[in-house]
Structures are given as C-alpha cells and as structure tokens.
Amino acid sequence: MFFGKIKESLKNLFKKQISKEEFERFLIDLGFSYSFIKEIVKDKNFLDTFYKKLEDLINFSFSLDYFFKFDTFLFLGPNGSGKTSSIVKFAYYLLKSGKINKDKFLIVGADTYRAGAQEQLKKLAQKVNLNVYLENGKPASVVYKALEENKDKYIFIDTSGRLETNKNLLKEIFKIYKVCQKFKRKILSIYILDATYGKHAKNQIKIFKSYLPIDGLGITKFDISKKIGFIFEVIEEYKLPIFFISYGENLEDISIFNKKEFLKNFQVEGNL
Ligand SMILES: Nc1nc2c(ncn2[C@@H]2O[C@H](COP(=O)(O)OP(=O)(O)O)[C@@H](O)[C@H]2O)c(=O)[nH]1
Ligand SMILES: [Mg+2]
C-alpha cells in the first residue's frame, strides 16, 4: 500500500542528517501546499513540528460501534470518485462485524441518471450478498419509496456523480437529504474524496457543503495516489473527519479510520 512508500522515504531521509531542503522536497512530493510547508519548516525542529501538526489535524478515530448509531448513510461526491464501490465495501465491512443480520441492510440505488449505474451497483452488491433497492424515477422519490417500505433497516444511499457546476443535480441531492429527514432517519452524510484528486477538491467540497451538511469523508484510491497532502488541507479547512479509507479495487480493501494506525505510518525511528 501507499504508506509503505512514505515510510520508506522517511527511513531513507533519516539514514543521514536530513536537511530542511530535503524535507521540503519530501513534503512537496507528497503534495502539501507551499503555505503548509512554509509553516512546518520555519521551525528548527521541523520533524517534530510536522508530526505534531498531523496529530493536531487528525483529532478523530472511529470504531464500528460509532457507525451503528446511525441508520442512514448518504454517499455523495463527484463522478468517478468511488461512491458506488465504496458504498458496497463499507456496507460489507459493517455486515462482516456480525452485529446485524444481513436482511437489515439495504443499499438504495439513487443514481438513476447514468445508464449502467444500477447494473454496476447490483453486480457489486451481489458479490457480497447484500440486498439492493433499484427503481426507476427521480432519485428523491426512489429514496422516499425505499424508506417507506424499509423503516427498520440500515440504509445506504448511492447517489449519482455531481459536477459542482450542475445546480439542479445538487438540489436533487439536497431533496434526498430532506426525504431522509422527513422519515426521521439518523443520517451520516459521507463525502467521497478521491485521493488522486488534488487541491481542486477544496473548492468542490465547499460547493457541496453549500447545499447540504457533510459529516465527514470517505477517502478512496489511496493505493494509487502519490500526492495526499491536499487531504490534510481539506481536513484543516472544513474540520471534517475521515470515516474510512479505501485502498484497492477488491471489496475488502477498506478500513475504518483509526488515528493511531494512520499516524504510525509517519513515524520511523528517529523522527520522534
Ligand atoms: N485503485 C482503486 N480504485 C478504486 C478505488 N475506489 C474506486 N475505484 C475505482 O474507481 C472507479 C470509479 O468508481 P465508482 O465507484 O464507480 O465511482 P462513482 O462514480 O463515484 O460511483 C472504478 O473503476 C473503481 O473500481 C480504490 O480505493 N482504489
Ligand atoms: Mg456510482
């Protein structure tokens, strides 16, 4: 996984006395912004400063029990970010805990615009034996029907990709949110952030946030991203926690976010 490379680079840097310039280059390679880097390296103990900064930013950690406090998981984000695959991975992860019977889980396909979207969801869900609810119609009315017929279930709602410039589609996703509120659901809205996306993501999230609440992030494609710096800036700017990280195309390639495990990847002998 990608973290292996970070650790390897850090180790190599620590084999010799690391210079400020070398550390700057390491952070640039990881995709941190110049303002972030400037703040880190202004200090003589820049390695400590870096690690402390990460610790400050990552002030969250989740266990399975946390998620069972909710009953409705709304997945949103731009096209191709990984919503459909991560919704199945996430539901499967919760299912595997064995805390809840499989019949209490339902994935609702509210991506009714894109041809093939329903089929993709069905295929993925079938692989892990999860039930899906698929209907034609407007996304919000599909969700309405699904909720009306499945009052006591854990519902996972897959939405269609929104371009932040398409106001109608963003209004539609807000309608889905309102429908969930109408049914008094305990909603967790999860913005799916593609780790390969880069700094444009900040602006994109801002626009989504102006339409509906976002409770936190699901990071995808962590296995293929080399520049993860922007993720820390998103967290800093919007104070959003990371609920899970997806790191591969296999349906088991997902982990609930754990602060200790995550930060461990930035530690090597010498930098603490
Ligand atoms: N390598 C890798 N690929 C991923 C990951 N998550 C999603 N993908 C791929 O990204 C593409 C888009 O994913 P999809 O779930 O359809 O995105 P959606 O449009 O947001 O629903 C698909 O080819 C997925 O297999 C991941 O964690 N790692
Ligand atoms: Mg999709």
Instruction: For the chain, list the strands marked E by DSSP.
Output: 72-76, 105-110, 132-133, 154-159, 187-194, 216-220, 242-246, 254-256
The predicted structure's pLDDT at residue 214 = 98
Residue 250 CB less than 6 A away from ligand 1: no
The predicted structure's pLDDT at residue 88 = 98
- Alpha-carbon distance of 270 to 168, in angstroms, equals 52
For residues 119 and 28, membership in a common domain is answered with: no
For residues 41 and 172, membership in a common domain is answered with: no
**Cα 165 from chain centroid (whole Å):** 21
**Interval between CA 121 and ligand 2 midpoint (Å):** 7
- Alpha-carbon distance of 23 to 41, in angstroms, equals 8
* 19 occurs within a structural domain: yes
Domain carrying residue 162: 64-256
* 243 occurs within a structural domain: yes
The predicted structure's pLDDT at residue 45 = 87
For residues 101 and 230, membership in a common domain is answered with: yes
DSSP, collapsed to helix, strand or coil, labels residue 171 as helix
For residues 79 and 125, membership in a common domain is answered with: yes
For residues 83 and 118, membership in a common domain is answered with: yes
- Alpha-carbon distance of 79 to 162, in angstroms, equals 6
The predicted structure's pLDDT at residue 58 = 95
The predicted structure's pLDDT at residue 15 = 61
Residue 159 CB less than 6 A away from ligand 1: no
* 47 occurs within a structural domain: yes
The predicted structure's pLDDT at residue 167 = 82
Domain boundary among 11, 41, 57: 57
Residue 153 CB less than 6 A away from ligand 1: no
For residues 91 and 178, membership in a common domain is answered with: yes
The predicted structure's pLDDT at residue 162 = 61
* 262 occurs within a structural domain: no
Bridge partners for 214 per DSSP: none
For residues 151 and 210, membership in a common domain is answered with: yes
Per-residue pLDDT of the chain (272 residues; tens, 9 = 90+): 566 667 777 766 666 678 889 899 989 999 999 999 999 999 888 888 998 999 999 999 999 999 999 999 999 999 899 999 999 999 999 999 999 999 999 999 999 887 789 999 999 999 999 999 999 999 999 999 999 999 999 999 999 876 656 788 889 999 999 999 999 999 999 999 999 999 899 999 999 999 999 999 999 999 999 899 999 999 999 999 999 999 999 999 999 999 999 988 887 665 55
Question: Which ligand is in closest contact with the Cα of 81?
Answer: 1
Residue 78 CB less than 6 A away from ligand 1: no
For residues 35 and 164, membership in a common domain is answered with: no
Sign of CA dihedral 54, 55, 60, 62: positive
Question: Which ligand is in closest contact with the Cα of 121?
Answer: 2
Q: What is the CATH number of the domain that holds 140?
A: 3.40.50.300
- Alpha-carbon distance of 186 to 181, in angstroms, equals 8
Residue 85 CB less than 6 A away from ligand 1: yes
* 222 occurs within a structural domain: yes
**Interval between CA 109 and ligand 1 midpoint (Å):** 16
For residues 86 and 51, membership in a common domain is answered with: no
**In this structure, are residues 170 and 162 in contact, taking their beta carbons and an 8 Å threshold?**
yes
For residues 50 and 74, membership in a common domain is answered with: no
* 266 occurs within a structural domain: no
For residues 96 and 53, membership in a common domain is answered with: no
Domain boundary among 57, 79, 98: 57
* 220 occurs within a structural domain: yes
> What total of structural domains would you count in the chain?
2
Residue 75 CB less than 6 A away from ligand 1: no
For residues 103 and 26, membership in a common domain is answered with: no
**Interval between CA 152 and ligand 2 midpoint (Å):** 25
The predicted structure's pLDDT at residue 4 = 67
* 264 occurs within a structural domain: no
